[in-house]
Amino acid sequence: MPAWLPCRHAERKTMTTKDFQQKLKDQWEVFTASEQRIASYLLQHPRDLPFETAASLSKRVGVSPMTVGRFLRTLGYEGFGELKEELRGDGTWRQLYRIAENSSGPDTVSAHLQAEMRALTEIHALAGTKEWKAITKLLISADRVSVASFQHGAFLGMAFATMLQQLRPRVSFNSGSDGAYIDMLLDSTRHSCVVLIDVRRYFRQFRLLAEETSKRGIPLVLITDSECYWARELTPHVLMAEADRVWHTYSAFMSLFSLLTASIVHEVGGVMDRLGDINDLRQKLVGYIGAPVEPIALSLNNETEKPAHRGAPNKAERKRR
């Protein structure tokens, strides 16, 4: 480089991985489809950034090295060297990668544990992000929420729908048994919310439903794994779980559902009345094992009157039952 040209490296400041991820999100709309695939991978694999090259990233994403180079230049970098130089002061990726290093070796149980720990770590990192807050708000404000999931992960959607039903009305799990997803596509509006959940290999209906929901203008939330590069092409409301194997995603998803419901409770509050009504109906229609729990009454002098202790029923009581 001639001496009279300004030195690009000298002008660069270090930035955090979070800053770089925000940079990708801010420019998402101007990326081409191939560039969005690259950006999606980098958003979900921040710990791998220091170890990537244009050649390795192109193989992972399925584009040419020239496309990766052009993408980096679009962001203002001559190559991965300049990007790594900017990220040099950020130690976030080192903590995440240190966990992975411990998983090597013949101990498969330990390796499985470390893989799940990595996935759970990344799920908890999502909580509090702009995407997380937007999805929480959407799940609260929607007039109805329809959930669907597919193939070996079908139980995930059923679990999430059941958890949401404890907190708010008009939540349904749609199995697609009617062949048209009527409840989800015809009965939902721009004020509703559709949640689709799937992991690779993605079920054909997963993408078809996502595209149809987006085309109809129904707010869409996609919960999937980090290989689903096309998710953000259809909606900004995307939560991705990282997993080395398909089955590692299950615990991460359950943690994600738990965190989302906790966020909803934190924002809304006052869910105990609904939970009480649900328990009353279950006791009346199905019943629990043992005697029903009696409410604690408050006397006029504000002293707590505890219900009489009810032990195991005696023989006479059992005969009457």
Quick check: helix, strand or coil at residue 59?
A: helix
Distance CA 207, CA 215 (A): 12
Neighbours of 321 (CB within 10 A): 6
User: What pLDDT is recorded for position 242?
Assistant: 74
Q: Which CATH number fits domain 108-268: 3.50.50.60, 3.40.50.1820, 3.40.50.10490, 3.40.50.1860?
A: 3.40.50.10490
Quick check: helix, strand or coil at residue 285?
A: helix
Residues of the chain with CATH 3.40.50.10490: 108-268
| Buried/exposed code over 112-135 (b: 16+ C-beta within 10 A; e: otherwise) | eebbbbbbbebbeebbeeebbeeb
Query: Given CA atoms 119, 122, 124, 128 in this order, what sign does their dihedral have?
Result: negative
User: What pLDDT is recorded for position 111?
Assistant: 74
Are the beta carbons of 171 and 161 closer than 8 angstroms?
Answer: yes
pTM exceeds cut of 0.85: no
Per-run averaged pLDDT (10 residues), the chain, 321 residues: 41 70 86 88 76 81 88 86 71 43 59 79 87 96 96 92 95 91 93 94 90 97 87 92 68 93 90 88 84 49 42 46 47
Quick check: helix, strand or coil at residue 102?
A: coil
Quick check: helix, strand or coil at residue 298?
A: strand
| Buried/exposed code over 250-272 (b: 16+ C-beta within 10 A; e: otherwise) | bbbbbbbbebbbebbeeeeeeee
Q: Give the distance between the most distant pair of CA atoms in the chain.
A: 101
Distance CA 7, CA 1 (A): 8
Neighbours of 201 (CB within 10 A): 11
Q: From edge to edge, which strands make up the β-sheet containing 171-173?
A: 171-173, 145-149, 193-197, 220-225, 238-241
Query: What does each C-alpha distance from 95 to 13, 15, 36, 92, 215 come to in angstroms?
Result: 22, 17, 27, 6, 41
Distance CA 313, CA 319 (A): 10
User: What pLDDT is recorded for position 263?
Assistant: 95
Q: Write out the two tokens for 192.
A: 């509703």
Of 47, 54, 129, nearest in space to 90 by CA: 47
| CATH class name, domain 8-86 | mainly alpha
Residues of the chain with CATH 1.10.10.10: 8-86
Quick check: helix, strand or coil at residue 302?
A: coil
User: What pLDDT is recorded for position 54?
Assistant: 82
